[in-house]
Amino acid sequence: MDHDPVLCDEWIGRAVTIVACTDPTWVGRSGTIIDETKNTFLIDTGDGRRRIAKHTATFQLTVDNRTININGALLRHRPEERIKRLR
């Protein structure tokens, strides 16, 4: 099964923007992922740290000069499990 390589990468330290979310107050927020659990990201938004459920949002990020959108439901694994499972 082919997956975008970014799905297997480390997400902590990545700058992301929320482009879709079940909670409309999140749409358009940007920040840096500073922690990750199986179901959530902790994002430093500059106005504080906020935790968001992965499955509720679509995350936009830039990798290798290309902008991609990733449905957070695809990331609902512990980081170490996601890396092993998708490679």
What does the domain layout of the chain look like in residue ranges? 5-86
CA distances from 20 to 55, 56, 77, 84 (A): 11, 8, 20, 27
* Model pLDDT, residue 13: 94
Q: How far apart are CA 16 and CA 38, in angstroms?
A: 18
- For the chain, the C-alpha Rg in angstroms (whole number) is 12
Per-residue pLDDT of the chain (87 residues; tens, 9 = 90+): 345 667 777 889 999 999 999 999 999 999 999 999 999 999 999 999 999 999 999 999 998 899 999 999 988 877 777 656 555
Task: Note the pTM of the prediction, 2 decimals.
Answer: 0.85
* Model pLDDT, residue 24: 96
Q: How far apart are CA 56 and CA 47, in angstroms?
A: 21
Answer yes or no: CATH 2.30.30.210 is held by domain 5-86.
Answer: yes
Cβ neighbours around 9 below 10 Å, total: 13
